[in-house]
Amino acid sequence: MSRPERPWYKWYAEGVDPYFEPVPETVNDRLARSFATWPETVMIEYYGQEFTYARMHGLISQVARALKAAGIEKGDRVALHLPNCPWHPIFFFGTLWSGAAVTHLSPLDARREIEHKLTDSGAKMVISLTTPEFADHFAPLIDEGVCPPLYLCPDPISARGRECPVIPGAHAVEDLLAGHSVDPMDAAPVTPEELALLQYTGGTTGVPKAAKLTHSNLATTSQMYSEMGKNEASALPGTRALGYSPLFHIMGLSSGMIKRVSEGGTLCLRLRFDAASAIDEVEKKGIVALAGVPTTWIAILAQPDIDKRDLSSLDYVASGGAPLPVEVYSRVKQLTGLKLRGGWGMTETSPGGTTVPQGMPDEKLGTIGVPVPGLDMMIVDVDDCEKILGPNQSGEMVIKGPNVTSGYWNRPDEENAACFTRDGYFLTGDIGYMDEDGWFYIVDRKKDLILSGGFNVYPLTIENAIHQHPAVLEAMVIGVPDAYRGESAKAFVMLNPGAERFTLEELQDFLSDKLGRHEMPRHLEFRDELPRTAVGKASRKMLRDQELARAAQETA
């Protein structure tokens, strides 16, 4: 397989090196430079609590000492079951500082998912919170003998005055840390190619599996995004970004926290997203960067009198984790004067991939951007991954770079090998195309494809069209059984506040100049809320499961 030309280089901002080559290094290397360069700068802010880089260096060193004393050795896995509170960066970086690796557990995981991840990863320790929504998961696992030593951290903000449960067999984090100095120390020696993180995929199909992410995968991703945004004010040391994106998710962890602290920035951690609070904080704290998933921006745009608020401190606004509706992009630009910097990435790419550069022409609306410096992407035939496709031809996106995982944990070599082309490009499972100027576009996920009357129908195409309806706040489309077509499209719609419902026929009339006949929704259902994943994305998988359950009840 030969490598195609890279037409996207011309879209990089002035000063960005299109031939940038990331340097193999560890996450600890990047963090150590920040500790040395900006000791008095605030690294983490949490509802008024401030932790400077110097203070964090001491706390991270304390964790590293404590883990070693507890028998955690180089390469062992420590599971973190934590929200966006200071305990997360303290234990995430502290674990890496000790030479061990992190396994992330989602706070929204069911108990059996937690059990699977603990067993599959071989975690030697678990760190969680004392609050009931966290601690209660572990009592039955301790009883069953499948939970490694569990240490619970107090967080008054999360507790909100509630009484925390007593979990027999659990330990207080104070017991782990007691007697260990907060004097700063150097990190344990590790190489860039050693494991840093087992990051489980969402488990939307089958049993969750963990992408193996090395120090180099995470560090080079940080380098690539820093190169892409090197001349932007939001990347300056000491500038503040709101941290709503969950740190247990790869986007919040890597693109959010690791990149930000590598640049000497301040990350203002928040437990959960609230649109009204976010707007208040932008006004009062001079927030320069705000990123989230598309639903973040949909909620902000829906706030009363949003056009009268002062958002002038913002220099960087971004959306990731899911494709961005064109209408949302246009409204954010009108509100802030900034182009919403969409992008694409995935757990397996740490999540380096594409981003929308500053100079995106408006005619490229709907793009996921161009590849960041330091990696390569192309489009290949869905049925023959060794066949490279040309501009404007839809196929599977593939990616190659130092940010890409080598495969999945505890999976056979042949299964991991099947995830790559002969030339080492990772098969993403995303269907898209690249235009003649090098801009990439997502068409849909292979697994979400609707086969209707012999045609391939992509839900995202339909969703983008429905989002143009003035009454629609959010829409999601799935395929449902159809006796005539095999499958047909069903639209689930959330309306804007005060908007009136419309009929399926009225929706079809609205879409008649936007979609082909084979793409037209044949079913419509209004929802007050759409089911969502742990990171706030509306979930087609959950909708499909609900439809299957309903169909089973109707035929019972």
What does the pLDDT look like over 112-132, one tens digit per residue?
Answer: 889 999 999 999 999 999 999
Asked if pLDDT for residue 2 goes beyond 60, the answer is no
Q: What local confidence, expressed as pLDDT, does residue 322 receive?
A: 59
Radius of gyration over every alpha carbon of the chain, rounded to an integer in angstroms: 23
Mean predicted confidence (pLDDT) in 40-44: 99
Q: What local confidence, expressed as pLDDT, does residue 206 receive?
A: 54
Percent of the chain with pLDDT over 70: 96
Q: What local confidence, expressed as pLDDT, does residue 324 receive?
A: 66
Instruction: Identify the three-state secondary structure at position 455.
Output: strand
Q: What local confidence, expressed as pLDDT, does residue 3 receive?
A: 47
Segment 152-198, tens digit of pLDDT: 999 999 988 888 889 999 999 999 999 999 999 999 999 999 999 99
Q: What local confidence, expressed as pLDDT, does residue 160 receive?
A: 86
Instruction: Identify the three-state secondary structure at position 27.
Output: helix
Q: What local confidence, expressed as pLDDT, does residue 208 receive?
A: 84
Q: What local confidence, expressed as pLDDT, does residue 144 receive?
A: 95
Sheet containing strand 426-434, edge to edge, reads 376-380, 395-400, 426-434, 440-445
Segment 514-544, tens digit of pLDDT: 887 888 999 999 999 999 876 777 888 899 8
> Would you give the distance in Å from CA 362 to the centre of its chain?
25
Contact of 476 with 492, CB cutoff 8 Å: yes
DSSP class per residue in 25-40: --HHHHHHHHHHH-TT
The dotted CATH code for 457-555 is 3.30.300.30
Asked if pLDDT for residue 4 goes beyond 80, the answer is no
**Which two tokens mark 102?**
């992190």
Rounded Cα distance between 482 and 479, Å, is 9
Q: Cβ neighbours of residue 460 under 8 Å, at least 6 residues apart?
A: 323, 442, 443, 444, 448, 477
Q: What local confidence, expressed as pLDDT, does residue 239 receive?
A: 97
pTM equals 0.84
The fold of the 51-212 domain, in CATH, is: Rossmann fold (3.40.50)
DSSP class per residue in 405-422: ---BTT--HHHHHTTB-T
Q: What local confidence, expressed as pLDDT, does residue 110 receive?
A: 80
Every domain range in the chain assigned CATH 3.40.50.980: 51-212
Segment 426-462, tens digit of pLDDT: 999 999 999 999 999 988 777 787 878 766 687 888 9
Confidence category of residue 203, pLDDT binned at 50, 70, 90: very low
Mean predicted confidence (pLDDT) in 219-231: 96
Segment 274-295, tens digit of pLDDT: 999 999 999 999 999 998 877 7
Mean predicted confidence (pLDDT) in 361-365: 87
Q: What local confidence, expressed as pLDDT, does residue 329 receive?
A: 82
Q: Cβ neighbours of residue 462 under 8 Å, at least 6 residues apart?
A: 477, 489, 491, 511, 515, 519, 521
Confidence category of residue 204, pLDDT binned at 50, 70, 90: very low
Q: What is the mean pLDDT of the chain?
A: 92
Instruction: Identify the three-state secondary structure at position 355.
Output: strand
Q: Cβ neighbours of residue 102 under 8 Å, at least 6 residues apart?
A: 77, 78, 79, 80, 92, 95, 96, 196, 197, 198
Every domain range in the chain assigned CATH 3.30.300.30: 457-555
6 vs 203, which has greater pLDDT? 6
Instruction: Identify the three-state secondary structure at position 433.
Output: strand
